[in-house]
Structure 1
Amino acid sequence: MISLLKYLKPYKLQVILVAVFTLLSSVLELYLPTLMADVVDVGIVNGDMPFILRTGGWMIACSLLAIIMTVGKAFFASKTALGFGRDIRRKLFVKVEHYSMDEFGKIGSASLITRTTNDVKQVQDVLNMMLSLMTRAPLMLVGGIVLAVSRDAKLSIIFLAALPILAGLIFLITRKAVPLFGVLQKKTDRLNLVLREGLTG
């Protein structure tokens, strides 16, 4: 996957826009609980209705802006992933065109079909997920910890206890899931072979 990142060069602007939209949406989403805490701690405790209404207005504005940023992030992430997949598919097709008959026989038509369709689609989906989620997760993690510590340092110790547990769960799930991709690959090749034989007779 890392070796394929060179095909992202034509999409630098879109990637930067995804990062900017992700940063802004994360900041806005993290700011909402702070505003809600102010409503409870200041507005409700003191019975200050104008403060509650004013802060509620800010919460609505932040929510609307967060939605706009999230939609923009999803748009540019999808556009980048689609263009990335198209470029890889084109390069792969050109490469396959220059294969000899021996290479075709060695790899197999079913496997080549899988490489140019299903595999490229999976890489495209992974890139879309990376742009949409993996850039957001660290921001939310760091921002959440900073806000938690600033609000209640003692209570934020829960994060330190939860992190090793979450890391262990992610490791176990990944360890179980990775071998399944190889099984899926073989089954997809077999499915393409059967379908191709059925269509060609």
Structure 2
Amino acid sequence: MLIRLLRTYVLRYRGHVIAVVCFQLVATIAMLYLPTLNADIIDYGVARGDTGYILSTGGWMLLISFAQIICSVAAMYFGSQAALGGGRDMRHDLLHRVNGFSTREVGRFGAPSLITRTTNDVQQVQLLAVMAMSIVVTAPIMGIGGIIMGIKVAAPISWVLVVAVPILGIVMGLIIARMVPGFRAMQSRIDDVNRVMREQITGIRVVRAFVRERHEAERFEVANTSLADATLRVGRMMALMFPMVMLITNVTLVAVLWFGSHAVSDGTVEIGALTAMITYVMQIMMSVMMASFLTMMA
């Protein structure tokens, strides 16, 4: 259902989507190329005292960085245009569809649920589309490209990536698996809050006539507390995600520095290559985290 929604509404803006893919591709390739240039500056410029090489390569790095910034901004602009346009069209069609429901259909779905679908759910799909525009292209290229470039610049210590990346993927998968039921519970609790609020606003005169304000306040407090508890459970899992990523990333960096220092001492790896390897580790870990976050949103 989600894929069909995105295909139906976001792909109406094919030109914007194609522009996003092209700009993100260029920006990601530029991001992967920068650590290699930095390694060349260290190995062939600083180590040899070649100021001309440092200036020329540094100039290339500035140009590539500037191009990366422009492409990233352009990709986000076109992606937001496509996602927001798709969300607008989705909300328009959904409202007209609901307006055509019979009384029996409205009663079967429930007015609070229909309100949630038209507002909160469309916004969630819209936000997912915005994130997907930047992550779907960037994460795979950054992850696979980072591994390839890491093996290329520092093959003797590239085995660290082979160990660290699967561990990070497994940990993120376990956390997301625990979070999915919590998100579903949140959707149900939002429906309950909307239902209670709608009943109270619609029947405000009856509530006042029979002096039921305290009872209705208690009803809303129960629904609101239930939603808060569900949100807190999900929030705790989300709070655990980032520290776990940082823990695995930092352990990986320590391993790269430890084994890389021995490789530099043996002469099998250059100092600049070790520096580039550290950057690639960060990029790979970031790509895995981005892909996990997109999966969680979906």
Decide: shared fold, TM above 0.5. yes
Residue 25 of structure 2 corresponds to which residue in structure 1? 23
The alpha-carbon deviation at position 25 of structure 1 amounts to: 0.4
Q: Note the alpha carbon deviations across 1:4-55, whole angstroms, 9 max, x for none.
A: 1222332111111111111100111111111110110000111011111111
Stretches of structure 2 lacking an aligned partner (at least 5 in a row)? 205-298
- Answer yes or no: is 1:83 the counterpart of 2:85: yes
**Which amino acid in the other structure matches residue 173 of structure 1?**
I
Residue 199 of structure 2 corresponds to which residue in structure 1? 197
Tell me the distance in 1 between the aligned counterparts of 2:26 and 2:11: 24
Stretches of structure 1 lacking an aligned partner (at least 5 in a row)? none
1:115 aligned residue (114, 117, 138): 117
Tell me the distance in 1 between the aligned counterparts of 2:92 and 2:116: 14
Pairwise mapping of residues 166-185 of structure 1 onto structure 2 (< 5 A)? Answer: 166-185=168-187
Tell me the distance in 1 between the aligned counterparts of 2:51 and 2:11: 53
Tell me the distance in 1 between the aligned counterparts of 2:136 and 2:160: 23
| Structure 1 residue matching 2:104: 3-state secondary structure | helix
- Answer yes or no: is 1:3 the counterpart of 2:27: no
* Stretch moving more, 42-51 or 190-199: 190-199
**Which amino acid in the other structure matches residue 134 of structure 1?**
V
Residue 132 of structure 1 corresponds to which residue in structure 2? 134
Pairwise mapping of residues 158-169 of structure 1 onto structure 2 (< 5 A)? Answer: 158-169=160-171
| Structure 2 residue matching 1:21: 3-state secondary structure | helix
CA RMSD of aligned residues (A): 1.2
Q: Percent same amino acid among aligned pairs?
A: 43
**Which amino acid in the other structure matches residue 167 of structure 2?**
I
**Which amino acid in the other structure matches residue 23 of structure 1?**
L
Contact 2:32–2:145 under 8 Å retained in 1: yes
* Stretch moving more, 122-131 or 7-16: 7-16
Contact 2:79–2:130 under 8 Å retained in 1: yes
- Answer yes or no: is 1:53 the counterpart of 2:55: yes
Tell me the distance in 1 between the aligned counterparts of 2:160 and 2:130: 32
Q: Note the alpha carbon deviations across 1:89-119, whole angstroms, 9 max, x for none.
A: 1111111111111111121111110000000
